[in-house]
Amino acid sequence: MRTDRRAERVDVRKTYKLYVGGAFPRSESGRSYPISTPRGRFLANAARGSRKDARDAVVAARKALAGWSGATAYNRGQVLYRVAEMLEGRRDQFVAEVVDSEGTTARRAESTVDAAIDRWVWYAGWTDKIAQVAGGTNPVAGPYFDFSIPEPTGVVAILAPQESSLLGLVSVVAPVIAGGNTSVVVASEDRPLPAISLAEVLATSDLPGGVVNLLTGATAEIAPWLASHMDIGGIDLCGASAGQRVELERLAAGTVKRVARAPESTPDWSADPGTGRLRRFLETKTVWHPIGI
């Protein structure tokens, strides 16, 4: 007699964790929340990060900054390209998760995942080229060499887009770390599954721990703590709710953070990204050097 093995097996119901400093800790608060498809089918539990998790993530990002911003641009490019390779290897999983999270068709999800991988490769290529485009040698009327060099802003907080769970996420995270910043990312609140898998990809690629720290949970709860945090240099408000944006900008002004404002309408993430997001979290340093010394 043939038995249906699938029917015998008990479901593995997952409870995911945060990604902080290269490790996967539970939320300090011990909280989690269920995530489901847009139609309400249960997918898994995600950790509901608290302000203290955000604080720990900032400490981890700060610790990783010297190593990551000090690595050569060429090396950063190699590491990011490796991430793209790893994404490619788990393409099917990401397609399934995008289908589950966003409720799109498999065909659409495939093109989204392909675009996300290509986006990662695109930014990997920019790491050692942005300095030539955004910086340069300035003509000055005096016996000096005058250079402008783009440098990373520092620790950048990113509120990932709420709708586009993978392509949108990659489009905001990759440019920030390509420029040499380290990041604290708050994943899409209702669709965190692709972000959690991306964290697993990052943990097993060559990216040093702490360069990307991923928190899941209520964006509105964590965002004010990041916006006001004095050890953060910039914040991307992409995934902030319309009602909270002004308050977050006000909090960010306390330490004159670089703020990337949330787009007015849902952006078309599949469009050519350009270098705008890459330049958003770079600071220009200009050096005057006397000629002949």
What the block records as the tokens of 243 is 């009602």
Number of residues that bind other proteins (CB under 8 A): 10
Q: Of 55-63, 66-74, 105-113, 279-287, which part binds other proteins (CB under 8 A)?
A: 55-63
Residue 67 in contact with other proteins, rule: CB under 8 A? no
β partners of residue 137: 147
Nearest to 158 by CA among 80, 64, 226: 226
Q: Which helix (H) or strand (E) holds 157?
A: strand 155-159
* 225-264: contacts with other proteins (CB under 8 A): 225, 228-232, 254
Q: Of 34-42, 54-62, 135-143, 160-168, which part binds other proteins (CB under 8 A)?
A: 54-62
How many angstroms from the chain centroid is the CA of residue 259?
15
Tell me, what amino acid is at 217?
A: G
What the block records as the tokens of 132 is 């030539």
Which residue, 202 or 235, is less far from other proteins as judged by CB?
Answer: 235
Q: Of 2-10, 98-106, 209-217, 222-230, which part binds other proteins (CB under 8 A)?
A: 222-230
Alpha-helical segments (H) within 135-182: 167-178
Pairing, β 155-159 against β 42-47: unpaired
Tell me, what amino acid is at 138?
A: N
Which residue, 58 or 169, is less far from other proteins as judged by CB?
Answer: 58
Which residue, 116 or 251, is less far from other proteins as judged by CB?
Answer: 251
β partners of residue 2: none
CB of 57 to other proteins, least distance (A): 11
CB of 233 to other proteins, least distance (A): 10
Footprint of other proteins (CB under 8 A): 55, 58, 62, 225, 228-232, 254
